[in-house]
Amino acid sequence: MSRNPAHVLKAPASSRRGLPAPAPYDSCVFINCPFDASYLRLFRALVFTIQDCGFVPRCALEVRDSGEVRISKIKRIIRECRHGIHDISRVELDPGSGLPRFNMPLELGLFMGAQEYGGREQKRKRCLILEDAPYRYQVFCSDLAGQDVSSHGGSPDSAVTAVRDWLASWLCDTGVTVPGDTHMCERYREFSYDLPVLCRDLRLEPERLLFAELRTLVQEWADQNP
Amino acid sequence: MLRTIKRTADTGGLDRDRVREAVIRLRERKRAAGALLSPYRVPHGTGVLVARERPIQPYGQARPAPEALPGDVEEEGT
């Protein structure tokens, strides 16, 4: 048997455990944000804008597999995404525990670590950091001072604009154009208006949509309403 | 070059064709509703149905709720 390390069988593609092949690295956008009901409007705005700009939104909710450790899943998705959106606005104390939640800053750190210490492909990563109010992050995460951070003020329109501008700035080098922010905000409002009707037609509950279901609905809606 | 909408293999168990049909159905209903609301609608008996891209929101009036959208609308003059 050969002892050449190059002949050693590689592990199955980054331990994806039989999942479908991921979308191309350059088109995947990792969403790092709160997943609770109070953030739902902004979360949908992020998913819609990413998809409507021609990218593929991804997040920790995309696979529900109790056999995969959560942090391993997050690291795998971060590795497969070139772009990342990190909303670090949730700094309030959890009403149940009285403690803050640190998941978003942790995942932002993982993403920036991959960008810093990863291979050539990982170094091409780019991210958008979102906050609620301008400059507030400098108080609770002063190491981020000097980064460009966009604030959305809790408004889906502002989130759509921030994400659209960020993705469009990358696309302008590729010759691909996306609708302007005003038009995209209108499209998002139109989609929000249509979503309950579509869910009723498909016998789904709009407030309890799985991430993959929401993504499919956005994909088909955006495709049929160019 | 305009962007293209990318699709993923994982649909969360939804039948993509069913979703597409639902989206098209709703789009057609909205077009028909827009045509009904439009002041430029072609009068009955001309055999032409004018459909607008979006439901029109007349000045000072609330947009119709999704539930208020009419069902299937037959083409006039056919």
Domain-embedded: residue A116 = yes
- Which of A91, A135, A84, A89 has the alpha carbon at shortest distance from A110? A84
The CATH number for A31's domain is 3.40.50
Number of domains in chain A: 1
Question: What are the E-state strand segments in A52-118?
Answer: 56-58, 83-87
Domain range for residue B46?
A: 16-55
Q: Which helix (H) or strand (E) holds A131?
A: strand A126-131
- Which of A51, A194, A224 has its CB closest to that of B20? A224
Residues of chain B contacting A198 with CB distance shorter than 8 Å: 19, 22-23, 26
Number of domains in chain B: 1
Tens digit of pLDDT for each residue in B45-66?
A: 555 555 555 555 555 566 666 6
Query: Do the beta carbons of residue A191 and residue A223 sit within 8 Å?
Result: no
Domain range for residue A145?
A: 23-224
What is the ipTM metric for this complex?
A: 0.77
Tens digit of pLDDT for each residue in A77-121?
A: 999 999 999 999 988 888 888 888 889 999 999 999 999 999 999
Contact B12 A21 (CB under 8 A): no
Domain-embedded: residue B23 = yes
Domain-embedded: residue A218 = yes
Q: What is the pLDDT of residue A66?
A: 75
> How far, in Å, CA of B6 to CA of A27, rounded?
9
Domain-embedded: residue B10 = no
Is residue B13 less than 8 Å (CB to CB) from chain A? yes
In the structure encoding, which two tokens stand for residue A73, read together?
């899943």
Domain-embedded: residue A18 = no
- Which of A213, A217, A224 has its CB closest to that of B24? A224
Please give, rounded to a whole number of angstroms, the shortest distance from the CA of B63 to a CA of chain A.
10
Among A63-72, A193-202, B20-29, whose mean pLDDT is lowest?
A63-72
Domain-embedded: residue B30 = yes
Does residue B43 register a pLDDT over 80?
no
Domain-embedded: residue B5 = no
> How far, in Å, CA of A36 to CA of A90, rounded?
11
pTM of the model: 0.79
Q: What does pLDDT average to over chain A?
A: 87
DSSP 8-state code for residue A9? P
> How far, in Å, CA of B37 to CA of B47, rounded?
18
Domain-embedded: residue B31 = yes
User: With 0-12 CB in 10 A as exposed, 13-18 as middle and 19+ as buried, what is A3?
Assistant: exposed
List residues in chain A touching B: CB distance below 8 A: 19-21, 23, 27, 51-56, 62-63, 171, 175-178, 190, 193-194, 196-198, 201-202, 210-217, 219-226
Share of chain B above pLDDT 90, in %: 14
